[in-house]
Each structure stands twice: as structure tokens, then as C-alpha cells.
Structure 1
């Protein structure tokens, strides 16, 4: 920990497990204030460090705005350096011929509209030279070299959020906005999805495998080189 990090603030959605928890642990060890946003805060593991846990459902139109009000009034948060939109849902994995339109809408509410509402709600606190990151997926890439038939709704939602994030990059003069494909990662949520539809055609990595690459991308990002694109966890540029 360095003294310079004591005033640094990062907000992360979905810190109760998996990638979000891994990112939170990293920044807590660096001395940052971490705001963990979760649908069920009571299920969030206790993490060591300066962590603020707040409740929000990513499918809500109002929860993130309520979170910002709470951060200002209850926790005296006046600025945020980094926002990471990590929380997501895979949906049922149904083939598109059988996909429920209601479920399709829900996947979009969480994976696409959710990050947009998060950006809009946190933007007044986010530093002008800060960073807005979405944990996305190559499932949303039209140029990906693999095909998995069970990711129709999920992939479409990720393609849309990739576009939204790239648009934020162009609309913002100095704010960095980009997406990260963390890889196929073995998490509790992923395993639940695989139980329903089978494992993906790519060997999964562990959370510990991918976190170093993710945080390096965030920490070394620049407006000129990083912003506006999707990146693999090894630091290479991913195809849209």
C-alpha cells in the first residue's frame, strides 16, 4: 500500500464472488477504498481493507442512482477514480428458437442497460480523467473464431454493451471507457450455467489466472491507446 492510494476510490459491481471479488481484493490490498455493489450484500464475503458494501439490482432503472445518493450522504464519497461494471447474467442458455422473449429482455436489462445506467448514475462522481470499464466477453464478438450455440441472448447483450462503451469513449473527451474479455473463467456463476448447457468449447481459466491481466489493463490504460476498444486479459486487443 502507498499513501497515494489512500484517497483512491473504485466502484465494482458484483463483488460477492468470482472476477468482481478478485478485482476488489486486489485494490483493497493496494490501499484503495472499494465500493462493492451487490444485489445481495448479505452474501458478500468479508474482505479486509476499506470496503463499502451497498445494495443494487443491475436490472433496476433507479438502484444505481440511489447508490450514488447513499455514497454521498452516508459515506462522504465525493469522487470516484474507476468504475467497473462487472455484474452480469448468462441467462438460461436456451437456443434462440426457444428463447423466451421475457428472459431475452432480462439479459439485456442486466448486461447492456445495467452498465449504461451505472455510467449515467456515477458520472457526476467519476473523475473526468477516470476510467469506466465493462467486463464483457468475446461471446459478443462477430469475429470470434469459436461458436457456442448456447450464448445467443448473452452474446447479443455483450455485443450491444461493447458498442455502448465504445460510444462513451467517443462522447467523453478525457474519460477512458473500454471493455475487457476476461477469458472463459471458472466461477460459481459460470459453473451453474455450464451445468445447464454444458462446458464451453474453450478450457476455462481460474479467477487467480485472469485477475493480474485485468488489473494491469485498468491501471495502465490511456485515453489514446486503450479507450474505445475491447481487450483480452493478456493485454492483446480483442476483435469486436
Structure 2
């Protein structure tokens, strides 16, 4: 029996997460673990209806982004279902929060965005690490944003979104930390492009940008997946990379 490639994707119910899920599930000999908020939802039913490739299967787990216990519960569930390693983890789940500059910040909203976008992925990593360590070439992928760049802030200053940008910058730090302190893991932060998801369209409308500024979910998923497939510890780990392969400033 062929060995499977096991992929965990958070926020798999829609947008990029769903795109990653369907892409990997269409590959033979893959176990795709998708996290959603409600296992009894219409979304869960729709995902279970996707036909996997030969030797592949889907496991849905509950991870609510503000829960610090759901990640560990999800890992215990997949272990009980026979998953003994994780080859790829894509920390995709995230929210925008209040858009705007410093003067628009609501402290409670800022805390919530930091919890979902930075703290929750850290809890996920700590829960998933034992299974990542059992993979031959484990990869951790943080879905970040160009708007998280600190070195290039002047280039993105026209589109302020302080809680979102700061939380993703924190996620970038966590990703770089994984690279530095976990030498067996290839860890990258990825800018998926400005994507025509519900969240992306909201940003385009808020900043009064042309609709053609967005790329399709399919193009983004294709670019990110190619990057993940080819990512190596020596060449890519510890870097902030765009979906098109270009390296970005931290």
C-alpha cells in the first residue's frame, strides 16, 4: 500500500481553505484534514460530498479559532482515525477585523484579531508538532499577507488595517521562530495575493480598489500549492514569500 501524504488545513470551509482542500483531495494517496467550526453544518455536508482521488480521504475536525483546546482535540481525533504523521500544515484560518489606521482601532477588536490570527496558529503548531516530527519532510505554511510587512510598510501604507497587519506580522514572527527553533521543519509565511474571497472583496471595496486588483481563488491556490510542493528547508524555510514565488520583506 502506498504511503499517504497527510495535509491539515484550517479554515477549510470556504475561500482559500476550501481551495486547498479540494486541490489536495484531488491528488491520489492523500489524507486531507480540514478544520471547520461546525461538523454538523451545511458546509460540512458539502465538503463530505467531494469525491476524493484514489487512495485519498477527507477527515473533518472542529477547530473554532478562539478555542485554545480545539487544536489538541483535533489532533487526538485524527490520531484515533489512523493518522500517525502530518506532512503539511497550512494555517489558513484568519479574520480582518476593523479596517483603517491607528485612529480607528478598537482595543477589544484588536485583541480578538490577534487571538485568531496569531495566538490560535501558535496553539495549532504546538498541538501538531508531535505529528509533524514524525514526517520525513514536514512543512508548516502560515497564510499571511503583504500588509504584514514591516520593512515595506511605506509601500502598503495607503491600505491601513492595523489589527490585521499587526496580527499577521506576529504570525510571521511565529513562523520564523519555527524555522529557527525546529530545524527539521520547513516553515514559510506566504502572501496568497489579494484574492477574490469574501474577505478580499471586502477589502477591495473598503479601499476603493478596482475589482481587477484581485486574483481568483484558483490562481492563488495554484501558486501557493506549487510553492508548498517545491519548498525546501535550505531554499525557502524562514522566508516570507508571495504566491508567485517572489521573496518579500519581513
1:22 to 3, 19, 23: 19
- Aligned partner of 2:142 in structure 1 is 134
Confirm or deny: 8 A CA contact 1:89 1:111 kept in the other structure. yes
Measure how far apart 1:95 and its partner are.
3.5
The reply to whether residue 83 of structure 1 matches residue 65 of structure 2 is: no
**CA shift for structure 1 position 174:** 1.6
Q: Which runs of 5+ in 2 are unaligned?
A: none
- The answer (yes or no) to whether the contact 2:227–2:243 under 8 Å persists in 1 is yes
Matched, 1:11 2:8: yes
Which runs of structure 2 are paired with 1:46-195 in the superposition (5 Å)? 46=47, 47-49=50-52, 50-73=57-80, 75-126=81-132, 127=135, 129-144=137-152, 145-194=155-204
Partner of 1:37: 35
Structure 1: tracts of 5 or more residues without a match: none
Taking the aligned partners of 1:15 and 1:193, their CA distance within structure 2 comes to 21
Alignment correspondent of 2:237: 227
- Deviation for aligned residue 1:115: 1.0
Residues 60/193 of structure 1: CA separation in 2 closer, same or farther (3 Å cut): farther
After superposition, give the CA deviation of every residue in 1:53-94 in whole Å (9 maximum; x if it has no partner). 111112211110111111112x12111110000000001214
In 2, distance between residues paired with 1:200 and 1:62?
39
1:108 aligned counterpart, secondary structure: helix
Q: Does the 8 A contact of 1:128 with 1:175 survive in 2? A: no
Matched residues in 2 for 1:239 and 1:95: separation? 21
Question: What is the distance in 2 between the residues matched to 1:30 and 1:154?
Answer: 33
| TM-score normalised by L of structure 2 | 0.88
SS across alignment from 1:180: strand
Secondary structure at the aligned position of 1:11 is classed as: strand
Normalising by structure 1, we get a TM-score of: 0.91
1:200 CA drift (Å): 4.9
Distance 2:148 2:238 in 1: 15
Q: Matched residue of 1:134: which SS?
A: strand
3-state SS of 2:7 partner: strand
Task: Count matched residues.
Answer: 235
- Summarize deviations over 1:183-220 as a string: whole Å, max 9, x none: 1001023334555x344588111101111110111011
Alignment partners' CA distance in 1, 2:110 and 2:140: 25
What SS class does the counterpart of residue 123 from structure 1 fall into? Answer: helix
- Does the 8 A contact of 2:118 with 2:168 survive in 1? yes
- Tell me, what secondary structure is at the counterpart of 1:30? coil
